[in-house]
Structure 1
Amino acid sequence: MANHLYQGDLPQGLDLGPVVAVDSETMGLNTQRDQLCVVQLSSGDGDAHLVQINRQTYDAPRLKDLLADPTVLKIFHFARFDIAAFQHWLGVETKPVYCTKIASKLTRTYTDRHGLKDLTRELMGIELSKQQQSSDWGANELSAAQVEYAAADVLYLHTLKAKLDEMLAREDRTAIAEACFDFLPVRAALDLAGWPEIDIFAHS
C-alpha cells in the first residue's frame, strides 16, 4: 500500500482502471462557499492517489476527464456532496457513479448508522479514524496524518461495493439502487440551484 500526492492534476499516463473509488476534501460543508482542496482516488489495489487542487485555477484536465469518463464507474460514499463540489469548482458532471451510503440505506434498514466508519466496522471489521476530518485542507502542505486520513476514505470502497451489491441483490433492490445512482448528478444540480433540503416531489 502506498499513498501518492500530486499537485494540480493526476499524472499523465496513470490508468486507474474501469472502477475508481473517489472522495474529496473541502474547506467546509457549504459547497458554494467552501473551496474544493483535495481529490483522492483508488483503483482498489491498496494504493491511493491524492490530487491537491490548484485553487487559483482549478485547472485539472486529466482529473476532469476521468470524472466525466462514461466508461469509468466512480464509487463514492455520500456521492451527492462530492458530485456537487466537482460540478461547482471543476465544472464537470461526474458519471456514472455508485454511492455506498445510498446502497447502505437501501439494504441496512436495521440501523440508522450509515457513515463510512459504520460500514467499514460492520462489513469489514476495520476501524477508521476520523480525527483529521475537520483539519485545514487548504494548507499549502498536507500533513502525513491528513494524507493517511484522505487515503482511508477511498481504500475500502471497492470491497464495500461488492458486499453491498450482494445485499442489494438479496433484497431485490439492485434496480432501484441503480436508478438512485443515475439521479445523483441531478440531485447535486438541485442542491447547487437552491433546492438542497426541499423535497420537490412532496405534495406540499
Structure 2
Amino acid sequence: MSIHLHQGDLPEGLDFGNAVAIDTETMGLNPARDRLCLVQLSAGDGICHMVQIPLCRPDRPHRAPRLQALLEDPAVLKIFHFARFDLGVLTHYLGIDCRPVYCTKIAAKLTRTFTDRHGLKDLCKELLGVEISKQQQSSDWGAPQLSEEQLKYAASDVLHLHRLRERLDELLAREGRIELARAAYDFLPARARFDLLGYEDPDIFAH
C-alpha cells in the first residue's frame, strides 16, 4: 500500500484510468451538517491518493478543479461503497456533480439477500478474504494533522473496491440484476440531493 496526501486538490498529471474508487471522511454522518475533511481515491493498483479539504462551509465553498474534473468525467466510472452519502457530501461541500457511479453496497444488497451484513468490512472478508480494520472510523477527521493510523484506515476504504466490483458484477449477472443495479446507480445523485433537502426523514418514497 502506498499513500499520497495532497492539500486542497489533486496534483496535475494523475491518471486513474477508466474507473476510480472513492470514499470520503467527514465530521459526522449528516451530509448537510458535517463538513467534508478528506477524499480518498484509488485506481485499484494499491496506491491511494488523498485530498485533505480545508475548513469550508456551503456559503464559502472550497473548489478543487482537478478533483472535480475527474469526478465529473463521463468516461470515468466512480466506484463507492454507500455512494448515497458520499455523493451528498461532494455536492454540498465541493459543488461536484459526480457521475457515472457504482455502489458496492447496493450491488451487495441486490445479490446477497441471504444476509443483512453489507458493510465494507464484511464484503472484503467474505468476497475477497481480506480483513480490514474499522478502528479509526470515529476519529477526528477535522484535525489539521492526520495520524498514520487514520491514513491507513482511510486508504483501506478504497483499495479493494475495484476487486469488490468485479466479484459483485459476477453475482449480479448470476442473479439477472445487472440492469436493475444500473438503474439504481443512475438514480443515486438525485437521491443524495433529496437527503440534502431534508427528505431522508420523512422519506418521500415511503407510504
Q: Calculate the TM-score normalised by the size of structure 2.
A: 0.96
1:104 aligned onto 2:108:
yes
Please give the residue correspondences for 1:1-12 in structure 2 after superposition, counting only pairs within 5 Å: 1-12=1-12
Deviates more, 1:151-160 or 1:193-202: 193-202
Following the alignment from structure 2 to structure 1, what is the Cα–Cα distance between the partners of residues 130 and 201? 32
Matched residue SS, 1:75 = strand
Following the alignment from structure 1 to structure 2, what is the Cα–Cα distance between the partners of residues 198 and 186? 16
* AA in 1 matched with 2:198: G
Match of 1:64 in 2: 68
Match of 1:123 in 2: 127
Unaligned runs of 5+ in 2: none
Percent identity over the alignment is 64
Following the alignment from structure 1 to structure 2, what is the Cα–Cα distance between the partners of residues 130 and 110? 24
RMSD: 1.0
1:37 aligned onto 2:41:
no
Offset at 1:201? 3.3
* AA in 2 matched with 1:72: V
Please give the residue correspondences for 1:86-105 in structure 2 after superposition, counting only pairs within 5 Å: 86-105=90-109
Offset at 1:64? 1.1
Following the alignment from structure 2 to structure 1, what is the Cα–Cα distance between the partners of residues 20 and 2? 16
Match of 1:162 in 2: 166
Following the alignment from structure 1 to structure 2, what is the Cα–Cα distance between the partners of residues 199 and 130? 29
Following the alignment from structure 2 to structure 1, what is the Cα–Cα distance between the partners of residues 43 and 202? 35
Match of 1:82 in 2: 86
Match of 1:54 in 2: 54
Q: How many residues were matched structurally?
A: 203
Offset at 1:197? 3.4
